[in-house]
A = this chain, B = another copy of it.
Amino acid sequence: MKSYIKLANKFEEISNLNGTLEILHWDNAVIMPEGSSNDRARQFATINSLIHQIMTSSEVSDLIEDSLSRQNDLNEWQKANLSLIKHRWIHANAVDQDLLRKFTLAGTECEMRWRTMREDNNFQDFSIFLSRVVELSREIASAKAETLNSDCKYDALLDQYARGKKSKDIDIIFSELRNFLPGFLDKVLEHQSSKGAIKSPDKKFPIEKQKSLAKKIMKQIGFDFNKGRLDESMHPFCGGTADDVRITTRYSEDDFINSLMGVIHETGHAMYESGLPFEYRYQPVGEALGMAVHESQSLLLEMQVGRSREFIKYLSPLLVEEFGEDDSFEVDNLYRLYNKVERGLIRVDADEVTYPLHVIVRYEIEKKLIEGEIEVKDLPDIWNSMYKDLLGADVPDYKNGCMQDIHWTDGSFGYFPTYSLGAIYASLFYEKANSDLPQIGEQIEQGDFSAIISWLRENIHSKGSLYQEDELLEKVTGEKINIDKYKKYLTDKYLA
A residues near B (Cβ < 8 Å) are: 12-13, 16-17, 19-20, 23-24, 27, 31-36, 38-40, 42-43, 45-47, 49-50, 224-229, 241-244, 282
Nearest chain-B residue to A225 (Cβ)? Answer: B33
Measured between beta carbons, the chain B residues less than 8 angstroms from A244 are 32-33, 36, 39-40
State whether A17 and B39 are in contact (beta carbons under 8 Å apart), knowing that A31-B31, A33-B244, A229-B33 are contacts in the complex. no
Secondary structure dominating the interface of A: helix
Output the least CB separation between A432 and chain B (Å): 32
Q: A262 vs B224: C-alpha distance in the bound complex, in angstroms?
A: 33
Nearest chain-B residue to A231 (Cβ)? Answer: B31
State whether A46 and B16 are in contact (beta carbons under 8 Å apart), knowing that A33-B229, A35-B224, A227-B33 are contacts in the complex. yes
Output the least CB separation between A248 and chain B (Å): 13
Task: Contact check, A33 vs B241: say whether CB atoms are below 8 A apart.
Answer: no
Q: A13 vs B50: C-alpha distance in the bound complex, in angstroms?
A: 10
Task: Contact check, B16 vs A242: say whether CB atoms are below 8 A apart.
Answer: no
State whether A43 and B19 are in contact (beta carbons under 8 Å apart), knowing that A31-B229, A36-B227, A226-B34 are contacts in the complex. yes
Q: A323 vs B16: C-alpha distance in the bound complex, in angstroms?
A: 47
Top 3 nearest A-B pairs (CB, nearest first) are A36-B244, A16-B46, A35-B226
Nearest chain-B residue to A244 (Cβ)? Answer: B36
Measured between beta carbons, the chain B residues less than 8 angstroms from A33 are 225-229, 244
Task: Contact check, A243 vs B19: say whether CB atoms are below 8 A apart.
Answer: no
Measured between beta carbons, the chain B residues less than 8 angstroms from A31 are 31, 229
Output the least CB separation between A34 and chain B (Å): 6
State whether A242 and B27 are in contact (beta carbons under 8 Å apart), knowing that A33-B229, A46-B17 are contacts in the complex. no
